[in-house]
Amino acid sequence: MKFRGLYLSEIKSDNFDKTQCMDSLSNPYTPNAGAEPQAVVGRDDQLKQFVMLLARLARRCTEQSMIITGLRGVGKTVLLHQFRGKALAQDWAVVEMEVQKHDEAAFRRVISARLRTALHELSPKAQWTDAFKHAVSVLKSFTLSVDPEGQWTAGLDVEPAEGFADHGDLSMDLTDLLVAVGAAAQDKGRGVVLLVDEVQFLESYQFEALIAALHKTIQRKLPITMVGAGLPQVAELAGDAKSYAERLFKFPEIGYLDEDDARLAFSEPAADEEVTFEAAALDLALEITGCYPYFIQELGYAIWESASTSPVTADDVREAWPLYEGKLDSSFFRVRLDRATALQQAYLRAMAELGPDAQRVADVAGVMGRTSQNIAPTRKALIDTGLLYAPKHGYAAFTVPHFDQFMRRTIPELKVPAPRR
Ligand SMILES: Nc1ncnc2c1ncn2[C@@H]1O[C@H](COP(=O)(O)OP(=O)(O)OP(=O)(O)O)[C@@H](O)[C@H]1O
Ligand SMILES: [Mg+2]
């Protein structure tokens, strides 16, 4: 049995059993938000599409960009990191942004700070061509309306570009900015990709401004694009710009892995540590996790903590199961439930009664013994706080996989608070 703990002598006590190959130090699973798993599996299609997108833009061909959608924990952030690697390998400049609820001033500041870095990355200041100098001036104009003192653009050493990005309208200004940055990148034979995570937090006017700007850069055939990731409701976000959004972006949905990939997600990291899984152990692990990436990492981690020797058996998986479930219940699921009022919890529990899928308001109302009208505000509040989303009109679904199972575990019996008089 291989002994791998490099610094184990400092961590483990003297009576540490060296025949045990599965120690905490070598646990290869990654149950953390955005943590790159040792084996990124099942995302070849999206990776191919991304590489094709950059290659086509580089050839001045137009191509639909994409916004990856999926529930919490399916691997959207990890996929964006993979995109980053592919873009850097093609010598593109990468601008990464995680959207937070920002007002317009903060939104302008974040975009301009990131694009400023991208411009510096594309070319050292000493080698700026006219297109670069113009892009930097436009950048300065872009921030001027919200930063008249020029604090955010300190050190850029240029005058604002009069007539560019100074309209006081976010869509027009962002269009000028992305066009100018795209043209500068093209001048250097390079490209710029904005990788935007948590797109669902964009205000619709911000999303619409991005759409308007990208619409123009595509018309001009410039090597600049945006690829996003967000919860499934993002496809609804574009508001008035919806038809443009649908033409500009594909919205590929990622979710659970197929069974072969899920087996690899368990077995590959373990194989690196010379640990194997028996077939029955993998079957059970797939059943417990539903092949969801985050759950795979969490169960893999728990198995590693509780088992000690290779090969991992179905009994080992059974033993780790309560550890896994306890971890999910006390963190991943619990933080969500704690945000809900008693009536909202009852709504979620009633939904769980009906199953894991999207449910009609009328059906949930039926289970709760209320009318649809009566519970509509509760449903809306749950959507606003991100616990539910509306995949289609009149329906609501959980934003987290297996939430129905958790609700039934944690609230065994549905109790609906009496209506207020
Ligand atoms: N392709 C994959 N194969 C195996 N594990 C993966 C894969 N993608 C992601 N994971 C694991 O799944 C977990 C969730 O990944 P990530 O944080 O990227 O999800 P997310 O969709 O961005 O979630 P959220 O919506 O909460 O931000 C992490 O523990 C990560 O290691
Ligand atoms: Mg994420």
Is the Cβ–Cβ distance between 259 and 296 less than 8 Å? no
Q: Each residue of 27-39: pLDDT tens digit?
A: 999 999 999 999 8
Residue range 2-22, pLDDT digits in tens: 334 444 444 444 444 545 678
Q: How far apart are CA 233 and CA 216, in angstroms?
A: 25
Least confident span in 103-107, 199-203, 246-250, 415-419: 415-419
Query: Residue range 396-414: average pLDDT?
Result: 94
292, pLDDT greater than 50: yes
In this prediction, residues 100-115 reach a mean pLDDT of 89
135: Cα separation from own chain's centroid? 30
The arrangement of strands across the sheet holding 224-230 comes to 93-98, 192-197, 224-230, 65-69, 249-250
Please choose from 77, 80, 272, 304 the residue to mutate so as to test ligand 1's pocket, defined by most ligand atoms within 8 A of CB: 77
Measure Cα distances from 86 to 55, 204, 249 in Å.
Answer: 11, 29, 19
CATH of domain 44-250: 3.40.50.300
Å from CA of 40 to ligand 1 middle: 9
Q: What ranges do the domains of the chain cover?
A: 44-250, 259-338, 341-410
Burial of 35 (0-12, 13-18, 19+ CB in 10 A): middle
In this prediction, residue 165 carries a pLDDT of 81
- Please write the tens of the pLDDT for every residue from 222-243: 999 999 999 988 867 766 677 8
Cα–Cα–Cα angle for 32, 38, 44, rounded to 5 degrees: 100
For residue 285, give the DSSP letter.
H
What are the structure tokens assigned to 20, written together?
């045990």
pTM: 0.90
Report whether residue 100 contacts ligand 1, using a CB cutoff of 6 Å: no
- Residue 313's pLDDT is what? 97
- Judged against a pLDDT cut of 70, whether residue 417 lies above it is answered with yes
Is the domain defined by 341-410 classed in CATH 1.10.10.10?
A: yes
Q: Kindly report the protein residue whose alpha carbon is nearest to atom 14 of ligand 1.
A: 73
DSSP state, residue 42: S
CA distances from 159 to 133, 140, 164, 214 (A): 10, 7, 12, 25
Q: What is the dihedral of CA 79, 83, 89, 91, to 10 degrees?
A: -160
Q: Rounded CA gap, 119 and 288, in Å? A: 47
| pLDDT 10s digits, 111-155 | 998 999 999 999 988 888 999 999 999 998 898 877 666 666 666
Q: For the residues 345-358, what does the mean pLDDT come to?
A: 96
